[in-house]
């Protein structure tokens, strides 16, 4: 089951074009089957169908993720929005919720994240909730309180499968990776907080994200309660993404 595997999910963010995607998707589709690893990619929505077609030969080994989802209903007068049911229809099975860039640029609230989580589950998809503190919050000693408050949107959620990515905001796209000690401490905290919110009979995956690359991946994967990685920049290079998967 994927709940025993290490997840390596590539978040392409707002990058890619049909032509350049072709080579990257070719590399990803050619990755050797690894029993211990669950591979996911989150291309921009216009390329979801391209990604699905290009990875079809690899069967269901490559999971498709969406970077964002509407908080509104399945259909309706919500110009510009894409619903969870549409993402399912387009072949996604994983959906990022709460990425820090969504709060930074779109002022996403806890209540909106909760609504998105519910929509994703209602469409039969797995949400991947992103949490993480800013540098100012860490320097003020508020990193655990901040992350706990972000995790609280999981309380009483109708799911026994909880996937979270811990992404310290100061480590995203900065080349500043958290130390293994910082990662160990926060992942342990997140694990315990999820158990206290959701009960002990849940399947849990906690991914680390923030400047993961082929050099630091093995060290990060060796940390207790690190069940995978959410990879931004390094997921845009087939060779780097493959090396991170090998390290998992």
CB 69, CB 116: distance < 8 Å = yes
Q: Which stretch binds ligand PEP (CB under 6 A): 25-33, 54-62, 197-205, 227-235?
A: 227-235
Task: Name the residue whose CB lies closest to ligand PEP.
Answer: 232
Interaction between residue 132 and ligand PEP (CB under 6 A): no
CB 194, CB 160: distance < 8 Å = no
CB 27, CB 54: distance < 8 Å = no
Q: Least distance (Å) from ligand PEP to the CB of residue 99? A: 6
25/42 Cα distance (integer angstroms) = 11
Q: Which stretch binds ligand PEP (CB under 6 A): 72-80, 132-140, 191-199, 224-232?
A: 224-232
161/37 Cα distance (integer angstroms) = 17
**Catalytic residue selected from 63, 85, 99, 225:** 99
Here's the x/- map for ligand PEP, 9-38, by CB under 6 A: it reads as --x---------------------------
Helical segments of 66-221, H only: 84-89, 100-106, 110-122, 135-139, 143-151, 180-198, 217-221
Interaction between residue 233 and ligand PEP (CB under 6 A): yes
Distance in angstroms between the alpha carbons of the first and the last residue of the chain:
16
Q: Least distance (Å) from ligand PEP to the CB of residue 11? A: 4
Q: Which stretch binds ligand PEP (CB under 6 A): 56-64, 119-127, 135-143, 210-218?
A: 210-218
The yes-or-no answer on residue 63 being catalytic is no
CB 107, CB 139: distance < 8 Å = no
Instruction: Compute the half-sphere exposure of residue 16: CA atoms within 13 Å on the CB side of its CA.
Output: 27
Q: Least distance (Å) from ligand PEP to the CB of residue 153? A: 18
Question: Which residues make up each annotated binding site?
Answer: 11-13, 173, 211, 232-233
Catalytic residues: 99, 167
Interface residues with ligand PEP (CB under 6 A) are 11, 167, 172-173, 209-212, 230-234
């Amino acid at each position: 089951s994927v709940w025993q595997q290490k997840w390596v999910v590539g978040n392409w963010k707002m990058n890619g074009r049909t032509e350049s995607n072709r080579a990257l998707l070719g590399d990803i589709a050619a990755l050797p089957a690894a029993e211990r690893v669950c591979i996911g990619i989150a291309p921009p929505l216009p390329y979801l169908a391209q990604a699905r077609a290009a990875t079809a030969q690899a069967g269901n080994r490559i999971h498709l993720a969406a970077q964002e989802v509407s908080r509104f209903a399945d259909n309706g007068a919500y110009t510009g929005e894409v619903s969870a049911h549409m993402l399912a229809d387009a072949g996604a099975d994983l959906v990022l919720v709460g990425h820090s860039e969504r709060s930074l640029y779109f002022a996403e609230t806890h209540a909106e994240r909760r609504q998105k989580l519910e929509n994703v589950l209602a469409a039969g998809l797995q949400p991947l909730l992103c949490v993480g503190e800013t540098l100012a919050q860490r320097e003020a000693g508020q990193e655990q309180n901040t992350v706990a408050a972000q995790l609280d949107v999981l309380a009483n959620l109708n799911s026994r499968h909880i996937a979270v990515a811990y992404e310290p905001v100061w480590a995203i796209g900065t080349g500043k990776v958290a130390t293994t000690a910082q990662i160990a401490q926060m992942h342990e905290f997140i694990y315990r907080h999820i158990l206290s919110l959701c009960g002990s009979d849940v399947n849990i995956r906690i991914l680390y994200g923030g400047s993961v690359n082929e050099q630091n991946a093995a060290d990060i994967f060796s940390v207790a309660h690190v069940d995978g990685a959410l990879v931004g920049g390094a997921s845009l290079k087939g060779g780097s993404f493959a090396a991170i998967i090998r390290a998992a």
